[in-house]
Amino acid sequence: MPLFVLDTRKLNIRLYIHLKFIKMYLFLSVTFCLLLLCMESNIKRPFYPSLFSFFSFYYFFSILFYYFLVFFI
């Protein structure tokens, strides 16, 4: 009987939890950066929507949708 037995089931659960936290951190950081980009583009031209703000909102929601698919499917 070996002195130390590696329980791979617990290791896999721990690795899975760490990967979930890494994904969540990446998702929140990218979302925050894109939100700042949208806010900055809207602050520069507050009276009419510029093309840049339209594209930044488009990318913001497309990346949100992508991360929604990654997390919940």
CB 38 within 8 A of CB 53: yes
pTM of the model: 0.43
User: In this model, does residue 62 exceed pLDDT 60?
Assistant: yes
d(CA 19, CA 26): 11
pLDDT in tens, 1-33: 455 565 666 667 777 777 777 777 777 777 777
Give domain limits for the chain.
17-72
